[in-house]
Amino acid sequence: MARAPFKLGEHTIMPGQRLQVDVPVARLYTHTPLHIPVEVVHGRKDGPVMLVCGGIHGDEINGVEIVRRVLRAKAINSIRGTLIAVPVVNVFGFLQQTRYLPDRRDLNRCFPGSESGSLGGRIAALFREQIVDHATHIIDLHTGAIHRTNLPQIRAQLSPGSETERMADAFGAPVVLNAELREGSLRHYAQTRGIPVLTYEAGEALRFDEWAIAPGVRGVLRVMRRLGMLTGEQRRRTPAPAELANGSSWARAPIDGILRPKVRLGARVAKGEVLGKVADPFGNDEGEVRAVADGIVIGMSRLPLANEGEALFHIARFDEIEEAETAVESFNSSLVPPTDSFF
């Protein structure tokens, strides 16, 4: 029996076809129409419907490049199932190079949205109805916020033997956080509907970090291969198993001043270790930023200017810290070129 066509709004994509679609979302002040760009790759054979999306936060652009490269992968041409690729969800924020919508709302706190609600609620409702509700699996691509960078990591709500765990295991990031669902997020909405979701966090806002992009592309393709959407052998060696963090916490600035970090992203640290020093411009008043637990630095500030209490170093805790350190080192050594790592 021939596979049924895939319908997205008013568009029909036939088996074996790929089509770029502009989903109308709003208008600018000038009355210029604004669209969410979507590409659908509808395979000839049955399989999962995978949504891969970036730019829910408009300044997080590593995901935009990951989606582009996934769509250019040769393996996609013989896909089983359907790929829905959305490089930029928050087109307003993307145009203004900001995380937020024009009304300062975070789109990733607006799901499931409302057709009669705020701008964020209306865009969330449109994206949910037109795109998200078609998916059987989702990979949501993110970075750290402005002036913050993240070690490549997966965040997901995991349970033993679940489809989400299977996807996280396949992705190949060095660290997995069993993260609670945040109400209003895409992950919260999808997970409550039984759609397994991975959030990939890597790099910094408004930057193209190759050490975050290339592993993200490989991770998406690995998940698709694990789900049976792609055939053929994986060319690269299998990454070291990811380590599951049992929690995380931030080390904060003890005083106002200028930060001089002493550790880098991915470093193993011990509780009480000095991660950096914050001082006034003359160095007369100086405070030490100390690790609040043994763990791995999975996120940190890239801006030297710090206010008292500001989060500076994000530390993930592990039951098996040596294994976590090995996983990070293995991941780092797999980057090409080797010097293009973390920073």
Could you read off the pLDDT tens digit of each residue along the chain, which spans 343 residues? 679 999 999 999 999 999 999 999 999 989 999 999 999 999 999 999 999 999 999 999 999 999 999 999 999 999 999 999 999 999 999 999 999 999 999 999 999 999 999 999 999 999 999 999 999 999 999 999 999 999 999 999 998 899 999 999 999 999 999 988 999 999 999 999 999 999 999 999 999 999 999 999 999 999 999 999 998 766 666 777 788 998 999 999 999 999 999 999 999 999 999 999 999 999 899 999 999 999 999 999 999 999 999 999 999 999 888 888 888 888 888 775 544 455 4
- The tally of CA atoms less than 13 A away on the side-chain side of residue 3 is 19
Topology adopted by domain 6-227: Aminopeptidase (3.40.630)
Topology adopted by domain 246-335: OB fold (Dihydrolipoamide Acetyltransferase, E2P) (2.40.50)
What's the one-letter identity of residue 239?
P
What's the one-letter identity of residue 283?
G
Structure token pair of residue 196 = 């397994």
Query: Which residues are CB-neighbours of 96 under 8 A, at least 6 positions away?
Result: 58, 102
Tracing tokens 């470093």 back to the chain, one arrives at 267
d(CA 220, CA 92): 26
Question: What's the DSSP call for residue 256?
Answer: S
- Where in the chain do CATH 2.40.50.100 domains reside? 246-335
Query: Which residues are CB-neighbours of 33 under 8 A, at least 6 positions away?
Result: 24, 27
Structure token pair of residue 146 = 């402005």
Query: Which residues are CB-neighbours of 64 under 8 A, at least 6 positions away?
Result: 54, 55, 87, 88, 94
Bridge partners (DSSP) of residue 11 are: 8
